[in-house]
Amino acid sequence: MSKHDYEALKEYDSNNSLLFREENMYETLEKIVMEIEKKTIGNTDNHIYLYVSSDGTLYENEGDSVPEAAWRGEDKCIYKSLHGGSPEDSINNFLLNLYDGSIEEIIEQLKNNYFSLKEKESFNKWYEDECIDKGASDDIFEELNKNYSASFSCFVDDLITYEIDNMDWEILHETVDEVLSFISNNEMKLNFEKSVVSYFPLALEYASTRLKDDPEVVKAAVNNDGWALEYASTRLKDDPEVAEVAVEKDGNALKYASARLRDNPDIVIAAVKNHGYALEYASKRLRDDPEIVTTAVKNKGEALQFASERLQDDPEIVTVAISQSDGWALRYASERLKDDSGIVTAAVEKDGYALEYASERLKDDPEVVKTAVKQNGDALEFASERLKDDPEIVIAAINQSGGYALIYASERLQALGVNGIIELAKEQREIKEAKIDIRNKTIIKKPLSEQIKSAETVKGKFDIKNKRIVKDEVSL
């Protein structure tokens, strides 16, 4: 059982059962697994599965039928025995399956392309004189691993390099840990690990401690997938060069850098340039750094959610965030800026739905709401109750949404229907215009002294000499 499985098992144990109060639980599970493997020796038909129930109880299940509780998601399979038969056969069968050929074909490949003349002569002699069962791959692989390790390692390396691109990741994911456990030759093991990691960087999880602490191997892995930094050694997670390669590949790999590097401006800038959301993993100090936060929101506007409260209240930074997020970054602005008509208008111009995050005051502002529903009619959903009953605003929303926004109008307007709302809007407009006309006529009929006082409201000029008002045309 891998450490990974054990951690998953601990996480699965939601009930904190007695099983996990043992200090050496991992060692206990290792013993259980070894017992399972002993049971599979000579059994080529069935696997044995180790399950953990929701109450933390471990139990075995032989065969490929899945227990009912596992189907329901209540129990979790945490270990599957090897192919059945001796565990020492694991590497042999792995290579045979990978090569997709017989042991005889592998021998021919070795003799023709990898063995020196001396090795070829030596192997032929052993094969003819000492190999009793020439079809027994385990005996042959044992000999190759023992006396021809350099050439055999080169063959395995080339085989994996050639074939691994076509391997199913899930198969490899399950197999790597298994294979590494049974390769006795260190050079061959190292070549195997390097080959796997070069093609599948996340396989670094299963690599040896030595490989996880190898700068070149880890750099190559994180250069292919930044998240591979998760499986690097503690020392290399604190290495600026390794971390920089990782975050330039995937900014969110910053999550796995050391605390020291998450407080390093150069590393964090590189991370948020690649992916603004990496700001989440920066130190508290750098999440309050205007340059770093601006860089982050320029990449992903909604990275504003990870900025300090001080910078969420910075109009310049919030404006940049809104422009890069189709308005949605308004959600993470300070309450003060959610009540700023300029900021909110900029957001709803990008996406009317951003009105959802405006202050209650601006949700009741006719100009702001009209801007929002003209961009997205369905934004009427977030307008104040008063404006949901405003025919002009509702008509603007209906026009933009093809009629669908009517469901967000007041019950009064819904009852009128679209045509009724249009007529009501027309009537209200006419009444408004009539009031303007009446006001203007009233002003004209007022005595001269009152006309003088009212002159500013009529857009006119007062000619004292002629004692009359020269009235401009009033635009309605």
pLDDT (tens digit per residue) in 81-103: 554 444 444 445 555 555 666 77
Please check whether residues 179 and 249 belong to one and the same domain: yes
Please check whether residues 151 and 167 belong to one and the same domain: yes
| Mean pLDDT score of the chain | 76
d(C-alpha 288, C-alpha 295), whole Å = 12
The mean pLDDT value for 334-342 works out to 97
List, for residues 368-412, the tens digit of each pLDDT value. 999 999 999 999 999 999 999 999 999 999 999 888 899 999 999
Please check whether residues 340 and 450 belong to one and the same domain: no
Domain assignment present for residue 180? The answer is: yes
- Other C-beta atoms closer than 10 Å to the C-beta of 341 total 15
Report the candidate in 158, 166, 144, 43 with the shortest Cα–Cα distance to residue 91: 144
Please check whether residues 219 and 120 belong to one and the same domain: yes
When divided into structural domains, the chain yields a total of 4
What share of the chain has pLDDT > 70, as a percent?
A: 60
Please check whether residues 405 and 465 belong to one and the same domain: no
d(C-alpha 184, C-alpha 354), whole Å = 62
Please check whether residues 379 and 473 belong to one and the same domain: no
Residue 194 near residue 162 (C-beta atoms within 8 A): no
- What pTM, to 2 d.p., does this model score? 0.56
Q: Which domain-ending residue is among 62, 85, 108?
A: 85
d(C-alpha 287, C-alpha 307), whole Å = 5
Please check whether residues 163 and 216 belong to one and the same domain: yes
What pLDDT is stored for residue 33 in this prediction? 57
Domain assignment present for residue 109? The answer is: yes
The mean pLDDT value for 247-270 works out to 96
Q: Which domain-ending residue is among 225, 256, 287?
A: 256
Please check whether residues 114 and 188 belong to one and the same domain: yes
The mean pLDDT value for 451-474 works out to 42
What pLDDT is stored for residue 61 in this prediction? 74
Of 263-277, 349-363, 399-413, give the lowest mean pLDDT range: 399-413
Q: Which domain-ending residue is among 256, 287, 318?
A: 256
Non-local CB neighbours of 341 within 8 Å, separated by 6+ positions: 362, 365, 367, 368
- pLDDT at residue 104 is higher than 90: no
Please check whether residues 346 and 252 belong to one and the same domain: no
Please check whether residues 122 and 250 belong to one and the same domain: yes
Which domain does 473 fall in, by range? 446-476
Of 193-202, 269-278, 287-296, 318-327, give the lowest mean pLDDT range: 193-202
- pLDDT at residue 461 is higher than 50: no
Of 200-204, 220-224, 388-392, 416-420, give the lowest mean pLDDT range: 200-204
What pLDDT is stored for residue 127 in this prediction? 86
Tokens 């493997």 correspond to 37
Report the candidate in 397, 385, 384, 401 with the shortest Cα–Cα distance to residue 425: 397
Amino acid identity for residue 268 in this structure: V
User: Which comes out higher in pLDDT, residue 20 or 259?
Assistant: 259
What pLDDT is stored for residue 135 in this prediction? 63
Residues in the chain: 476
The mean pLDDT value for 110-125 works out to 88
Of 25-39, 294-308, 324-338, 376-390, give the lowest mean pLDDT range: 25-39
Domain assignment present for residue 187? The answer is: yes
Tokens 């054990």 correspond to 6
d(C-alpha 320, C-alpha 33), whole Å = 56
What pLDDT is stored for residue 167 in this prediction? 47
